[in-house]
Amino acid sequence: MTGKRILLIIGGGIAAYKIPQLIRLIRAEGMAVTPILTRAGGEFTTAMTISVLAGEAAHEGLFDISTEAEIGHIQLSRNADLVVVAPATADLMAKMAQGLADDLASTLLLATDKRVLIAPAMNVRMWHHPATQRNLALLRDDGILMIGPDEGDMACGEFGPGRMAEPEAIMAAIREALNVSLRPAPETRASGPLTGRHVIVTSGPTHEPIDPVRYIANRSSGAQGAAIAAALRDLGARVSFVTGPAVVPAPEGVEVIRVETAMQMRDAVEAALPAEAAVMAAAVADWRVVNSSQRKMKKDGTGQPPALEMAENPDILAWVSGLKAQRPLLVVGFAAETHDVIAHATAKRQRKGCDWIVANDVSPSTGIMGGDENAVILLRATGAEEWPRMSKHEVARRLADEIAKELG
């Protein structure tokens, strides 16, 4: 990371008091910080504090004549390797989503061609407001990376999501974002062993609606699936990335097909066929609610909960594996187990009819679920291969290499 430059946009929120610590962490890794203070940001921390810690003068106004003459705001945004917005207020997020450029921070955000990571911080009601959630969806679609917000006690005395992620967590997200942006852009990507091949990757959880506001879900972050899609893309493959509502953003340079439910995921996979390989990394809900309501369910005063009628979802992996004409040459499934990993995964491979199973032990003691690392066993007809514990990105790269070898 040494020598990288972070353009740090500091929004106006009480969480700005954590920014000096973030600047320290960034600089401790040998990176430079160009600080930008919004007008509101300057109310919560001072240009003096920020400039001293960053070792560079904090920029404040769009029409700061000398800066504009010497550097220019376009230049400022292009000189960075990554743009970080922390705290990202509801106002800044709204400006970003709409493409407004009425001050230095928003102008830089519109002018930049670099990746942008935001660390939202706001009152819990502002976070839940449909306008903020709408903006968030737009920002996600634009490929903006996000860390947090955390849930907890807030400075305003309320409780819930809206606290800015801790500086250490933002630092980890910066490292990851820089790692991702080191990859060549899709259009300049060199061809690789999978050039001309089409691969389908499913990822993330599914949401199964109970009524318009409630759903059944699981804790899958989509981290491993996104990393696999990116690794296959890096080997030249055309990737159809069918993703449920995941926390980890979809990689660039792949075709992203967003779905909510298992039924939609099945249909999206079907529409994406034919493909030479399918990697089913999604954590598909096993059941859906068949009597889900079009209107919000209400308590009826009897004290009786509603009777939810459930039906089993289609098993997408088993269905793809059993296709006759359109079966991909290679179908890879996942098995998350808490004990007897090899025995269960072997049975699963046979039951589902897939070619390979990537199996792992997700017992809480392993810290794998929701973590950055994974320890997997690759199970094929010929036997099991145990891989050492490594990052999810490294697992993805090795798996993509194995897929490339198999497709020849």
Give yes or no for residue 282 binding ligand C5P (CB under 6 A): yes
Please select the residue that binds ligand C5P; options are 109, 200, 280, 396, rule is CB under 6 A: 280
- Reduced to 3 states (helix: H, G, I; strand: E, B; else coil), residue 8 is strand
Query: What x/- string results for residues 290 through 319 when contact with ligand C5P is judged by CB under 6 A?
Result: -----------------------x-xxx--
- Residues 6 or more apart in contact with residue 42 via CB below 8 angstroms: 12, 60
Please select the residue that binds ligand C5P; options are 92, 118, 210, 262, rule is CB under 6 A: 262
Candidates 28-36, 109-117, 331-339, 395-403: pick the segment binding ligand C5P (CB under 6 A): 331-339
**Cβ at position 313, least distance to ligand C5P in Å:** 5
Name which of 17 and 319 has its Cβ closer to ligand C5P.
319
Is 156 assigned a catalytic role? yes
- Secondary structure element (H or E) that encloses residue 138, with its range: helix 130-141
Six-digit token string for 2: 């040494």
Q: 307: how many CB neighbours lie within 10 A of its CB?
A: 6
Instruction: Give the separation between CA 32 and CA 47, rounded to whole angstroms.
Output: 17
Long-range contacts of 342-350 (CB under 8 A, 24+ apart): 342/377, 342/379, 342/384, 345/377, 345/379, 345/384, 346/379, 346/384, 349/379
- Residues 6 or more apart in contact with residue 371 via CB below 8 angstroms: none
Give yes or no for residue 284 binding ligand C5P (CB under 6 A): yes
**DSSP letter for each residue of 179-235:** HHHTSPPGGGPPP-TTTT-EEEEEESB--EEEETTEEE------HHHHHHHHHHHHT
Name which of 165 and 268 has its Cβ closer to ligand C5P.
268
Instruction: Give the separation between CA 13 and CA 6, rounded to whole angstroms.
Output: 20
Name which of 64 and 337 has its Cβ closer to ligand C5P.
337
Give yes or no for residue 335 binding ligand C5P (CB under 6 A): yes
Candidates 121-129, 159-167, 279-287, 296-304: pick the segment binding ligand C5P (CB under 6 A): 279-287
156, 185, 271, 343: the active-site residue? 156
Name which of 139 and 284 has its Cβ closer to ligand C5P.
284
Please select the residue that binds ligand C5P; options are 334, 360, 378, 399, rule is CB under 6 A: 334
Six-digit token string for 208: 């199964």
- Residues 6 or more apart in contact with residue 316 via CB below 8 angstroms: 202, 262, 265, 266, 269, 280, 282, 284
Q: Which amino acid is at 261?
A: T
Name which of 262 and 399 has its Cβ closer to ligand C5P.
262
**Cβ at position 396, least distance to ligand C5P in Å:** 15
**Cβ at position 199, least distance to ligand C5P in Å:** 14
**Cβ at position 386, least distance to ligand C5P in Å:** 19
**Cβ at position 279, least distance to ligand C5P in Å:** 8
Q: Could you tell me how many residues of this chain bind ligand C5P (CB under 6 A)?
A: 12
Interface with ligand C5P (CB under 6 A) = 202, 262, 280, 282, 284, 313, 315-317, 333-335
Give the active site residues: 156
